[in-house]
Amino acid sequence: MDYIDQFSSPETFVKENVNLKIKHMAGRICENILLLVRAKKTGEDGCRFAKAVAQFHDLGRIEHLKNTGRLRTLNLKTTLYLE
């Protein structure tokens, strides 16, 4: 959390959104990555590695929020193609 702490702000909008991103990373993302690695039967080492990676997946968005006051989102219609 030391990295995230450097982006603390008195602005309520920034505080609320940083907290949402932390909950998102620690909760939903970790849960989903563990479902994936367990389905692939990667073992306990794979699960630990996946949880560590999940914690870092959105860190750039926190810095972007602090610098610009808004969060970037992907436009899934143009960036993700499922076949």
* HSE-CB of 19 using CA atoms within 13 angstroms: 7
* CB distance 33 to 51 below 8 Å: yes
Question: CA-to-CA distance for 66 and 73, rounded, in angstroms?
Answer: 15
Q: What is the pLDDT of residue 45?
A: 87
Residue 78, pLDDT > 60, answer no
The tens digit of pLDDT for each residue in 22-69 reads: 776 777 888 888 888 889 888 888 888 888 888 777 777 777 777 776
Statement: the pTM of the whole predicted model exceeds 0.85? no
Domain residue spans of the chain: 2-79
d(CA 67, CA 51) in angstroms, rounded, equals: 27
